[in-house]
């Protein structure tokens, strides 16, 4: 009896079928639905009144679509003047009526006004002084204390104020970070410029403490330096006076409040607004300075938004910046 070749024998049991035969796909008839593809987008040379950046995409339904990266041009123009500000709060301002080193009412007032402007999308950084606890320049020479050591103690005082202000802000729901000029990892972050900018972009308030980290420099200089580093648009100096006067108002009650000053006015007239290092740094980087009274309710929010308050210090029209006419000798 002839036997067929084994390759031609196929068993009827499913397990003996080839793998591709057992799992062969089957076509299933699907009901047909009417489908109309959307009309393609056409590139039209149309410019929006709010954007000057390239052509826009427009579809037949008259919807204007901005190119990638131009969504900001479709947003309404904000009403506030500044987008990123640096608020300088002196230690004396935190002391309030000087019954205690820190007045909780003052810190809470600062926190509430800062909260009101951060909701508008304004990025706020703060530099705090330490004169309410310890002022290095005043203690230098006492009991053999040298100026450098006295200034370092003053830097520690600013850290104490910063932690207090941070706790107050976070108690009302403001995310806050403290960054110090020298490392104190257990209580604060070290100052890292890119990290500080990232915090601001995420809507957090950043408090800079310990000044510049170097003796012989004031916290006003630290404020000008940090403002330039993080690309803030203005230094808002909160003090216990309404602004800059032409004379000392405590001596002359008829002293006139000055609305505008130039950097040159401050340096030539020796006005005690900020120390020369700080005002020169602001001048070289074209950073305006607003001096206002922190004790008047609403002044902080007004200054941050950009409303007229106190005295504005900046370059006057046709006044060259210091960096434009600086001469460097060999």
Q: What is the pLDDT of residues 20-43, one digit of tens each?
A: 455 555 555 555 555 555 555 554
Residue 248 within a domain: yes
Given this model, what pLDDT does residue 248 score?
A: 80
The arithmetic mean of pLDDT across residues 287-291, rounded, is 96
Residue 260 within a domain: yes
**φ/ψ of residue 210, rounded to 5:** 70, 25
Residue that is written with structure tokens 């006044």 in the block:
319
Q: Which residue has the higher pLDDT, 139 or 160?
A: 160
Given this model, what pLDDT does residue 16 score?
A: 52
DSSP label at residue 273: T
- Indicate the angle between helix axes 276-284 and 219-229, nearest 10 degrees: 10
Given this model, what pLDDT does residue 199 score?
A: 98
What tokens were used for 27?
A: 């076509």
89 sits in which H/E element: strand 84-89
Residue 6 within a domain: no
Residue 1 has pLDDT above 60, yes or no: no
**φ/ψ of residue 301, rounded to 5:** -65, -40
Given this model, what pLDDT does residue 37 score?
A: 58
Residue 54 within a domain: no
| Distances 212 to 60, 128, 182, 278 between C-alpha atoms, Å | 58, 12, 9, 12
Number of structural domains (the chain) is 1
The arithmetic mean of pLDDT across residues 257-276, rounded, is 89
Instruction: Assign residue 273 the CATH number of its domain.
Output: 3.40.1160.10
At CA 82, angle to CA 110 and CA 162, rounded to 5?
A: 30
Residue 181 within a domain: yes
Q: What is the pTM of this model?
A: 0.72
Residue 15 has pLDDT above 80, yes or no: no
Q: Residue 108 sits in which domain range?
A: 84-324
Residues 6+ apart with CB under 8 A from 10: 16, 17
What integer best gives the mean pLDDT of the chain?
Answer: 80
Residue 238 within a domain: yes
Residue that is written with structure tokens 């506030």 in the block:
80
Q: Confidence class of residue 215 from pLDDT cuts 50, 70 and 90?
A: very high
Residue 49 has pLDDT above 90, yes or no: no
| Burial of 245 (C-beta count, 10 Å sphere; 0-12/13-18/19+) | middle
Residue 306 within a domain: yes
Q: Confidence class of residue 56 from pLDDT cuts 50, 70 and 90?
A: very low
- Cβ distance 230 to 240 under 8 Å? no
Q: Confidence class of residue 52 from pLDDT cuts 50, 70 and 90?
A: very low
Given this model, what pLDDT does residue 235 score?
A: 97
Given this model, what pLDDT does residue 330 score?
A: 30
Given this model, what pLDDT does residue 262 score?
A: 93
The arithmetic mean of pLDDT across residues 304-318, rounded, is 84
The arithmetic mean of pLDDT across residues 217-244, rounded, is 95
The arithmetic mean of pLDDT across residues 190-194, rounded, is 97
Given this model, what pLDDT does residue 8 score?
A: 44
């Amino acid at each position: 009896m002839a036997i067929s070749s084994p390759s031609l024998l196929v068993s009827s049991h499913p397990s003996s079928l080839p793998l591709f035969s057992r799992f062969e796909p089957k076509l299933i008839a699907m009901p047909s639905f009417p489908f109309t593809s959307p009309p393609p987008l056409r590139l039209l040379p149309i410019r929006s009144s709010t954007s000057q950046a390239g052509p826009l995409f427009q579809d037949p339904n008259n919807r204007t679509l901005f190119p990638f990266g131009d969504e900001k041009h479709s947003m309404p123009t904000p009403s506030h003047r500044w987008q990123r500000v640096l608020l300088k709060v002196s230690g004396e301002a935190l002391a309030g009526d000087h019954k205690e080193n820190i007045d909780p009412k003052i810190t809470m007032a600062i926190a509430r006004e800062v909260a009101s402007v951060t909701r508008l999308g304004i990025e706020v950084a703060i530099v705090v002084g330490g004169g309410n606890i310890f002022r290095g320049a005043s203690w230098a020479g006492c009991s053999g204390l040298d100026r450098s050591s006295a200034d370092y103690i003053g830097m520690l005082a600013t850290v104490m104020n910063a932690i207090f202000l941070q706790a107050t802000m976070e108690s009302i729901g403001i995310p806050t970070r403290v960054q110090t000029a020298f490392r104190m990892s257990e209580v604060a972050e070290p100052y890292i410029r890119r990290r500080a900018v990232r915090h601001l972009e995420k809507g957090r308030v950043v408090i800079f403490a310990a000044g510049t980290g170097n003796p012989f420099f004031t916290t006003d200089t630290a404020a000008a330096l940090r403002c330039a580093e993080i690309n803030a648009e203005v230094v808002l100096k909160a003090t216990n006076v309404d602004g800059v006067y032409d004379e000392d108002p405590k001596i002359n009650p008829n002293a006139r409040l000055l609305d505008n000053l130039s950097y040159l006015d401050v340096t030539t007239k020796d006005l005690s607004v900020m120390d020369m290092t700080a005002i020169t740094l602001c001048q070289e980087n074209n950073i305006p300075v607003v001096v206002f009274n922190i004790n008047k309710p609403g002044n902080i929010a007004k200054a941050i938004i950009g409303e007229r308050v106190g005295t504005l210090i900046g370059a006057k029209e046709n006044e060259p910046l210091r960096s434009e006419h600086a001469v460097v000798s060999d």
